[in-house]
Chains A and B, each alone.
Chain A
Amino acid sequence: MGIKEYFDSMDYAPAPESPAEALAWLDTHDRRFGPVIGGAMQASADERFPSTNPATGEPLAEITVTTKAGIDAAIAAARAAQPDWENGGGPARARVLYALARMVQRHARLFAVLETLDGGKPIRESRDIDIPLVARHFYYHAGMAQLIGSEMPDRRAHGVCAQVIPWNFPLLMLSWKVAPALAAGNTVVLKPAEQTSLTALLFAELAHKAGLPPGVLNLVTGAGDVGAALVAHPDVDKVAFTGSTEVGRAIRTATAGQGKALTLELGGKSPYIVCADADLDSAVEGLVDAIWFNQGEVCCAGSRLIVQECIAEDFSARLRARMARLRVGDPLDKCTDIGAMVSPEQRDRVRAMVAQVAPDAVHSPDIDLPEAGCFLPPMLIDGLDAAHPLMQEEIFGPVLVSTTFRTPAEAAALANNTRYGLAATVWSENLNLALDIARQVRAGVVWVNATNLFDAAAGFGGVRESGFGREGGWEGMTAYTRAREIPSASQPAEATAAVPAPTAAIDRTAKLYIGGKQARPDGGYSTPVVGADGTSLGDAGVGNRKDIRNAVEAARKAQPGWVDATAHLRAQILYFIAENLSARAAEFTARLTAMSGDAETAAAEVEAACDALFTFAAWADKRDGAVKPVPLRGLALALREPVGVIGVLCPEAAPLLGPVTALAAAAAMGNTCVLVPSERHPLAATDLYQVLDTSDLPGGVVNIVTGSAETLGPVLAEHMDVDALWSFGDDGLAAELETRSAGSLKRCWVAAPDAVMQGAGTAPAQHALLDAATEIKTVWVPYGEGA
């Protein structure tokens, strides 16, 4: 069109960003790439796969499928480089990370164009959002490297990290993974997604030129099987994965019992709640950033619109009008809102999912779509019920589904009616309402009157089947470090001397403790408990899966009230438990003595249990959240929320201190718990019932089911309504517990008995328990008023 035609039509002209520089870089490698090991790209004649531009279908490059030997070599290179990288010190690492941040900024446009060519996202997004955030992550973590030695003296690097990242934000996810790992002193073997390996390869090349030592960051290229082999490799210390829940579950299972640290950032079906008092036009615009950002191929996409019934019609009309102005097309064009889906497979997968509803139920605006390439129009499916599969399943495409709510409580209930818990958005001009819903929604990130805000200082990650672990902020550094080894001070309780059994009194039958009441075991069996000298101490109930079911039900029911009970009240109750336990110290000492035969140790254990209660009572109202200095006029709040319902398998070595410390840490943070005492020494725990009953502890906050950890542990691990499982007992159970926890992707903490027995002893041990008992929820609240 000529000037005169544009003068009449007032259309936009094509405004494509040139791909020339990016293509020229590909040409410098003859468009052939392979794994980067020890600082060098490995030229090999192994099997290759093509990397194509999804907007045109044109091949961009061929990439080697990394072999088993290649993976071994990459891990060996990382292992070899790790000691020097860590021991060189934080300030030295800070300089390298700073150089990487500068490097990304120097080559920002090259990265952006290559990202768009390879993955199909609009150049606006790669240029204005992805790449600036990549630089920000390296800057932020340069600072972390500088400070980690002084601020986290009790922690050190894991060692070698295996990281597997997805195709939707290729370089951004690389930065989220690599920057904190390197800052902490780890070395990395990273596998980019096979659809989008190119920016990682460019990054590795430029990073080494910028001074990254060889072997610190290695890349293995290939598809899912390469990733599977990488994470399963025995010489990996830490695994981090971002991607689908299905693959996350497979990784959980594959690494079960291997002792590797694991963080998973998985799928979502994030709610987008619009209240009647919201700025509706802004909420509509927010949806553009929520579900039509990156073609909807976003794990935290606000994909489930939950709108107040009284404005639903108005809102839908505004939304449809806005959809009609979205531009779908050439991702390199600066006027494109929605680019290409990453691959024909992904496009077809989305189409197949949408085909679950009648075609006339799917609204898409009358806008032009390119004739070739992997494009989909924006889609809206109004008026779905919670039961519809499309309200439950992640679509991972430009498809918004919507339903309505009547009351704020119903909005929260609908929002939480999902297996996922990654992100949530709330629109309301009423602060009371907005923050109330933000607290109620189960999600790792909540945006108030905004959506898809990200920053390196603010934690990002999910709850439930959206995975575990946080990326960004101090909480993100925790995931890339481990506690420094502390010499063990505990002694297993061994029979050391025969002591007389307590005088026989009136029979006491130890039942189970469920919902604040003693309950007979469902199976109706008891098992004898013998003391150190072989004499009978009584019988303990044999709990079964139904008892676990009942206990979890009671714990779940009690949990909301326990959170609302205020930290002050929780502290008071824990102090009161300590007071009552202390008052009966002689009785508990005698019980423990009968079990172990060591009166002195027994007295010390009772004293330690009282101390543990005091310690975590103290923490109840002092485990502060944080306000993150994000680049935004607003507050980014890091709230420490309880994990929910925690199952605990208690250690044999401290029959009283184990369960007491665990319940104190869990309850202090607002969790409820189901304790399984040591099978051999359950009676110290069952003696607690009367202490708990007299201490104003609400029923259901602590539940105790005696029985075998081998039987009850797997039931807890599999239980879909248990949010976390702590196992301080039998190491041999680790693999089975972690495998069985994969179904619900619950947080599974398998630790040595010391983790709980010394749990109140040192600051790092206290923090480990408190971290396990809490989940960071990042709530973004932009503010401002002005004209």
Chain B
Amino acid sequence: MKQDSRISAEEASRNPIAAFDPDRISGLQANTSAIERRAATLPGRRSVKGAAQAAWLMRAITMIDLTTLAGDDTPGRVRRLCAKARRPVRADILAALGMGDVPITTGAVCVYHEMVPVAVAALEGSGIPVAAVSTGFPAGLSPLPLRIAEIHESVAAGAAEIDIVISRRHVLTGDWERLHDELCQFREACGPAHMKAILATGELGSLRAVAQASHVAMMAGADFIKTSTGKESVNATLPVSLVMLRAIRDHHRLTGYRVGYKPAGGISKAKDSLVYLSLIKEELGQHWLSPDLFRFGASSLLGDIERQLEHHAAGAYSAAHRHPMG
């Protein structure tokens, strides 16, 4: 009974599937030069220093989807990653920073379908969700029924989040309704699992297309919109992020639902993560600075953050080998 009401409250706040509305995308504009200018000047406008910097970096950790998406992934490799997700920072560093009593884990662990059971088992009791990339990741060109079946399999295997890829061809040909329809099917297949829609922005050709695809994905009930698979030649960038964040803001204004954002690929420096967090804070507000609404898709970011945190704790610059491998 109690469980049910929690789920329904959760469901009630979840971005629902909505009918396709061509007016939402027809007049969308995204001026590349102006967006680049805003993105380029933001790091100079906001500076996160001292205690705030250490705090923000730990918050960043809680929003990392610690990821391994390689052909040579094995159960052992994934278990090691999960262990790192449970304990991303050395206990002595957390204690020195006065954060010894704050449970800090990564936001999720993100793997291919075959690795989902291993990850689920390794993370049991931690509260850390397992995310599975799906729907023919990364290109999304396998048969639609198989892509939908893949979602079902992963959800059944215990994935709480499904990172689906959109059909870029529907964006490039302007077939928005078909894109919407496909995404609605994915969203239904996800059931209780959250759907993170990967737009593969590096393959969409323009920021305007990124804005349009973002709106379509949100109309189709995406819980998160995500930039990239990490496999495109261009992954997450600040200009792309700005466009997607503004789309999320518009969606919230129009519908009242908050959709999450996940930049993925290419964010490997602690300093970069601070810029992203300040971008979220400035464009969407404090509310979005939580794992429910923001994730970094990253594999090497954590390592750099750990080194920065040790520097905060000890005052001397750190080295990679001092931090446990993930």
Give the interface of A toward B (CB within 8 A): 1-7, 10-15, 124, 127-128, 277-283, 285-286, 325, 334-335, 337, 429, 449-450, 633-634, 782-787
- Give A437 Cβ to nearest chain B Cβ, in Å: 16
A6 and B34 contact, CB distance less than 8 A: no
Name the B residues within 8 Å of A785 (CB-CB): 32, 206-208
Name the B residues within 8 Å of A281 (CB-CB): 246
B33 and A634 contact, CB distance less than 8 A: yes
A449 and B31 contact, CB distance less than 8 A: yes
B56 and A787 contact, CB distance less than 8 A: no
Name the A residues within 8 Å of B179 (CB-CB): none
Name the A residues within 8 Å of B147 (CB-CB): none
- Does B71 lie at the interface of the complex (its beta carbon under 8 Å from any beta carbon of A)? no
B52 and A6 contact, CB distance less than 8 A: yes
With A10-B56, A787-B202 as contacts: A282 and B48 at CB distance below 8 Å: no
Name the A residues within 8 Å of B54 (CB-CB): 3, 6
Q: Which 3 A-B pairs have the closest CB atoms?
A: A6-B55, A13-B52, A282-B34
Name the A residues within 8 Å of B205 (CB-CB): 786-787
Name the A residues within 8 Å of B210 (CB-CB): 787
- Does B231 lie at the interface of the complex (its beta carbon under 8 Å from any beta carbon of A)? no
With A279-B29, A335-B45, A787-B205 as contacts: A13 and B38 at CB distance below 8 Å: no
Taking A279-B30, A787-B206 as known contacts, 8 extra A-B pairs with beta carbons closer than 8 A to each other, sorted by chain A number, are A2-B51, A3-B54, A4-B55, A4-B98, A4-B102, A279-B29, A282-B30, A335-B46
A278 and B29 contact, CB distance less than 8 A: yes
B59 and A7 contact, CB distance less than 8 A: yes
Q: Of B32, B99, B246, B278, which contacts A7 at CB under 8 A?
A: B99
Interface string of B32-59 (1 = CB under 8 A from A): 1111111001001111111111111011
Instruction: Please report the C-alpha to C-alpha distance between residue A783 and residue B202 in the assembled complex, in whole angstroms.
Output: 19
Residue from B46, B47, B208 with most neighbouring chain A CB atoms (10 Å): B47
Q: Of B29, B45, B58, B278, which contacts A124 at CB under 8 A?
A: B45
A280 and B29 contact, CB distance less than 8 A: yes
Interface string of B73-105 (1 = CB under 8 A from A): 000000000000000000000000111001000
- Does B293 lie at the interface of the complex (its beta carbon under 8 Å from any beta carbon of A)? no
Instruction: Please report the C-alpha to C-alpha distance between residue A286 and residue B36 in the assembled complex, in whole angstroms.
Output: 12
A12 and B206 contact, CB distance less than 8 A: no
Q: List 19 A-B contacts (CB under 8 A).
A: A3-B51, A6-B52, A6-B54, A7-B55, A7-B58, A10-B277, A12-B52, A12-B278, A13-B49, A15-B47, A279-B34, A283-B34, A285-B38, A334-B49, A337-B45, A449-B31, A449-B34, A450-B37, A782-B34
Instruction: Please report the C-alpha to C-alpha distance between residue A562 and residue B97 in the assembled complex, in whole angstroms.
Output: 74
- Does B272 lie at the interface of the complex (its beta carbon under 8 Å from any beta carbon of A)? no
B27 and A277 contact, CB distance less than 8 A: yes
Residue from B34, B51, B278 with most neighbouring chain A CB atoms (10 Å): B34
- Does B281 lie at the interface of the complex (its beta carbon under 8 Å from any beta carbon of A)? yes
B31 and A282 contact, CB distance less than 8 A: yes
A429 and B31 contact, CB distance less than 8 A: yes
Name the A residues within 8 Å of B234 (CB-CB): 787
- Give B105 Cβ to nearest chain A Cβ, in Å: 14
Residue of A with least CB distance to B234: A787
- Does B17 lie at the interface of the complex (its beta carbon under 8 Å from any beta carbon of A)? no
Q: Of A13, A283, A337, A634, which contacts B51 at CB under 8 A?
A: A13
B51 and A6 contact, CB distance less than 8 A: yes
Instruction: Please report the C-alpha to C-alpha distance between residue A177 and residue B213 in the assembled complex, in whole angstroms.
Output: 49
With A3-B99, A282-B38 as contacts: A12 and B55 at CB distance below 8 Å: no
Instruction: Please report the C-alpha to C-alpha distance between residue A449 and residue B55 in the assembled complex, in whole angstroms.
Output: 37
Residue of A with least CB distance to B46: A335
A15 and B41 contact, CB distance less than 8 A: no
Name the A residues within 8 Å of B33 (CB-CB): 449-450, 633-634, 782-784
Give the interface of B toward A (CB within 8 A): 27, 29-38, 41, 44-56, 58-59, 97-99, 102, 201-202, 204-210, 234, 239-240, 246, 277-278, 281-282, 286, 289
Residue of A with least CB distance to B240: A787
Q: Of B48, B208, B239, which contacts A12 at CB under 8 A?
A: B48
Name the B residues within 8 Å of A285 (CB-CB): 34, 37-38
Residue of B with least CB distance to A278: B29
Instruction: Please report the C-alpha to C-alpha distance between residue A6 and residue B286 in the assembled complex, in whole angstroms.
Output: 12
Instruction: Please report the C-alpha to C-alpha distance between residue A335 and residue B49 in the assembled complex, in whole angstroms.
Output: 10
- Give A65 Cβ to nearest chain B Cβ, in Å: 38
B32 and A784 contact, CB distance less than 8 A: yes
Name the B residues within 8 Å of A283 (CB-CB): 34
Instruction: Please report the C-alpha to C-alpha distance between residue A165 and residue B206 in the assembled complex, in whole angstroms.
Output: 44
Instruction: Please report the C-alpha to C-alpha distance between residue A70 and residue B70 in the assembled complex, in whole angstroms.
Output: 77
- Give B236 Cβ to nearest chain A Cβ, in Å: 11
Name the A residues within 8 Å of B55 (CB-CB): 3-7, 10
Instruction: Please report the C-alpha to C-alpha distance between residue A10 and residue B36 in the assembled complex, in whole angstroms.
Output: 25
- Give A781 Cβ to nearest chain B Cβ, in Å: 9
B246 and A787 contact, CB distance less than 8 A: no
A786 and B32 contact, CB distance less than 8 A: yes
Instruction: Please report the C-alpha to C-alpha distance between residue A633 and residue B33 in the assembled complex, in whole angstroms.
Output: 8
B29 and A429 contact, CB distance less than 8 A: yes
Residue of A with least CB distance to B94: A3
B36 and A784 contact, CB distance less than 8 A: yes
Name the B residues within 8 Å of A4 (CB-CB): 55, 98-99, 102
- Give B119 Cβ to nearest chain A Cβ, in Å: 27
- Give B199 Cβ to nearest chain A Cβ, in Å: 9
Instruction: Please report the C-alpha to C-alpha distance between residue A604 and residue B290 in the assembled complex, in whole angstroms.
Output: 87
Residue of A with least CB distance to B243: A787
Name the A residues within 8 Å of B31 (CB-CB): 278-279, 282, 429, 449
Instruction: Please report the C-alpha to C-alpha distance between residue A768 and residue B44 in the assembled complex, in whole angstroms.
Output: 45
Name the A residues within 8 Å of B36 (CB-CB): 784
- Give A622 Cβ to nearest chain B Cβ, in Å: 32
Name the A residues within 8 Å of B37 (CB-CB): 285, 450
Instruction: Please report the C-alpha to C-alpha distance between residue A2 and residue B50 in the assembled complex, in whole angstroms.
Output: 10
- Give B290 Cβ to nearest chain A Cβ, in Å: 9
With A2-B51, A3-B97, A7-B99 as contacts: A286 and B34 at CB distance below 8 Å: yes
Name the A residues within 8 Å of B46 (CB-CB): 12, 334-335
Name the A residues within 8 Å of B44 (CB-CB): 124, 127-128, 334
A787 and B201 contact, CB distance less than 8 A: yes
Instruction: Please report the C-alpha to C-alpha distance between residue A82 and residue B68 in the assembled complex, in whole angstroms.
Output: 70
Residue from A10, A325, A450, A634 with most neighbouring chain B CB atoms (10 Å): A10
- Give A732 Cβ to nearest chain B Cβ, in Å: 54
Name the B residues within 8 Å of A429 (CB-CB): 29, 31
Name the B residues within 8 Å of A14 (CB-CB): 49
- Give B266 Cβ to nearest chain A Cβ, in Å: 14
- Give B61 Cβ to nearest chain A Cβ, in Å: 11
Residue of A with least CB distance to B213: A787
B206 and A3 contact, CB distance less than 8 A: no
- Give A244 Cβ to nearest chain B Cβ, in Å: 29
Instruction: Please report the C-alpha to C-alpha distance between residue A784 and residue B278 in the assembled complex, in whole angstroms.
Output: 25
Q: Of B52, B58, B207, B282, which contacts A787 at CB under 8 A?
A: B207
Instruction: Please report the C-alpha to C-alpha distance between residue A282 and residue B98 in the assembled complex, in whole angstroms.
Output: 41
Instruction: Please report the C-alpha to C-alpha distance between residue A80 and residue B47 in the assembled complex, in whole angstroms.
Output: 49
Instruction: Please report the C-alpha to C-alpha distance between residue A2 and residue B45 in the assembled complex, in whole angstroms.
Output: 23
Residue of B with least CB distance to A124: B44
Name the B residues within 8 Å of A335 (CB-CB): 45-47
A282 and B50 contact, CB distance less than 8 A: no
- Give B247 Cβ to nearest chain A Cβ, in Å: 10
Name the B residues within 8 Å of A15 (CB-CB): 47-50
B29 and A1 contact, CB distance less than 8 A: no
B204 and A787 contact, CB distance less than 8 A: yes
Instruction: Please report the C-alpha to C-alpha distance between residue A286 and residue B37 in the assembled complex, in whole angstroms.
Output: 9
- Give B131 Cβ to nearest chain A Cβ, in Å: 24
Name the B residues within 8 Å of A11 (CB-CB): 52
Instruction: Please report the C-alpha to C-alpha distance between residue A670 and residue B77 in the assembled complex, in whole angstroms.
Output: 76
Instruction: Please report the C-alpha to C-alpha distance between residue A74 and residue B98 in the assembled complex, in whole angstroms.
Output: 62
Instruction: Please report the C-alpha to C-alpha distance between residue A607 and residue B65 in the assembled complex, in whole angstroms.
Output: 85
Residue of A with least CB distance to B41: A128
A787 and B48 contact, CB distance less than 8 A: no
Name the B residues within 8 Å of A634 (CB-CB): 33
Instruction: Please report the C-alpha to C-alpha distance between residue A124 and residue B41 in the assembled complex, in whole angstroms.
Output: 9
B50 and A450 contact, CB distance less than 8 A: no
Residue from A283, A783, A785 with most neighbouring chain B CB atoms (10 Å): A785
Residue of A with least CB distance to B246: A281
